[in-house]
Structure 1
């Protein structure tokens, strides 16, 4: 009877073959939120326990998703192969490598060596995936409709190497951070131009991809964080990156957060861009003594915390209602 009950429960939850790859974006968002609350400790004097607990949640979510997706790979290898080859879904594999990078400072809080090892693994995987994706794109014959904000994830995601590797003690870390800024920065210029052109001249994105519009702010805010980590200061160029990302967030916010857009795993695409904006605002506010910037950083931090809490609760609800892992 217990076996039958277990099987019935598994059926009600769904099958791992339908586990969406873009759920790894949840780890990116939660990790980014942990780093933001860590900065809030310095700016607002909040308890470091908040950042620590959020970081623990990020690690646990990554472990659960990794085990689940590895199971999917073993049991349904063709499905995973098709997802990786898909002109849109394939870009979301970058959420895995970026998650590893963002977890390195979270784990580094407890083990410096552990954090460094995680960063090296994330760096190698991110660069390897970037090479594969760019090579595939340059093969040509891609549909204009496949030009979507998700394109920015795997290659422009290399900027996160500099974001998380600014304090790495290795002799080669400086050049590696510079390489990541070069790849992510130049590709961001190209891809953002292509995506803007598609959004202006073609039909709007399907409802399922609409939340991914917020990915457009990531190159500017992550670029701000990576660049300032590298040069160890905030100069006018860094300010331009931050303020344009903030402007785009205000523009896109009202296009994304609509009741007409159904909830799904794709909504996690908003998590990391908002967390990156929060981290950038907090870092900027700590350097520039301005009550307005401090207020903006507090508002953005509160907003991203609320959004991610809602996403987390609704995703868990979808899972146990059997709507998350069904075909």
Structure 2
């Protein structure tokens, strides 16, 4: 399959280029490292957490989840160090990426990665987990504030309302998902604040994005994987809500089943021939991981064999998809196409 540079993947015909600073030169350069590569950390972290639940509920080997979690930490360190190098050497490229109407939303993958990694390291280093979560909490709220303020300035092209818009705002829902067990006295109120922000903004933006998809031209093929992001508000919402109320009630079940419905709708549009491979494919990782985690938790609550089968199928599909993405990403990293 063809490998596309980040800019061609992230823009539709009506979305302007970020700037000339984002146009990659012919030689490979860290200048071209896409911020959406942090989505790989989100996907791997979500997969690790899903396998932990599978260990508790199904007796799956514990080492699988822990090994994937260690891989997620390693990938985060590698990508973070590389992106810091990009920031040090090419600040204008980072600034252009941040202010771009599409790629700027992928900075939410950085803060979500911090939140998820706090859950990964929590059983081993509680103090480090609390520090990661606190930094991720602050960064998430600040980023969400900046993004919403930018939208409310007005005169935003409706055709720019793409699924990536959801990322910075749904990131706030990951605060209660990963912070339910944090011991700080102020945690419960912050979790409520974050859930309130994320829930309302997710519904507003979801409506805007669906309206754009219905009334405007289809997304370019390179942006098709981002359609999977439409699953995230409801799957993550299920996890956040059940953590806050301390149980899985019927409203939580409604969120889970709608997430499952959205997955059934968008999956054929994502997993189809002709969609080129690029780092943008990592956009499928965390929404699928959130759905797998939700399915495993709901199956454990209902103690239903069909639900356990569904959860195992989703976990298997997620594991296979991320294994393929990992191999393909390593391939383009080694042949220089990732940074070209």
TM-score of the superposed pair, with normalisation by structure 1: 0.95
Q: Does 1:103 align with 2:117?
A: yes
* 1:221 corresponds to which of 230, 235, 246: 235
- Distance across 1 between alignment mates of 2:275 and 2:336: 20
- Of stretches 29-38 and 198-207 in structure 1, the one that deviates more from structure 2 is 198-207
SS of the aligned residue for 1:168 comes to coil
Partner in structure 2 of residue 211 of structure 1: 225
Paired residues, number? 316
After TM superposition, give the deviation of residue 109 of structure 1 in Å. Answer: 1.9
Deviations 1:173-196 (A, max 9, x none): 000000011000000110000011
Counterpart-to-counterpart distance in 2, 1:289 and 1:51: 22
Work out whether residues 13 and 323 of structure 1, in 8 Å CA contact, stay in contact via their aligned partners in 2.
no
- Decide which of 250, 272, 289 is 2:303's aligned counterpart: 289
Shift of 1:113: 1.1
Whole-Å separation in 2 of the counterparts to 1:206 and 1:171 = 47
* Bigger Cα displacement from structure 2, 317-326 vs 181-190: 317-326
Question: What runs of 5+ residues in structure 1 fail to find an aligned partner?
Answer: 1-10
Where 1:204 maps in the other structure, the secondary structure is coil
Corresponding residue of 2:11: none
Which digits, 9 at most, give the CA deviation of each residue in 1:60-86, with x for residues without a partner?
Answer: 000001100000001000000000010
Query: Residue 71 of structure 1 is aligned with which of 62, 85, 90?
Result: 85
Q: Does 1:116 align with 2:130?
A: yes
TM-score scaled to structure 2, two decimals? 0.92
In 2, distance between residues paired with 1:13 and 1:107? 37
The residue correspondences of 1:1-327 to structure 2 (distance < 5 A) are 14-326=28-340
Q: How far apart in 1 are the matches of 2:329 and 2:303?
A: 39
Per-residue deviation, 1:217: 0.5
Q: Which runs of 5+ in 2 are unaligned?
A: 1-24
Tell whether the 8 Å contact from 1:12 to 1:321 is kept in structure 2 after alignment: no
How large is the Cα RMSD of the aligned pairs?
Answer: 1.1
Give the Cα–Cα distance (whole angstroms) in 2 for the partners of residues 201 and 236 of structure 1.
33
Partner Cα distance (2:27, 2:247) in 1: 49
1:12 to partner: Cα distance: 10
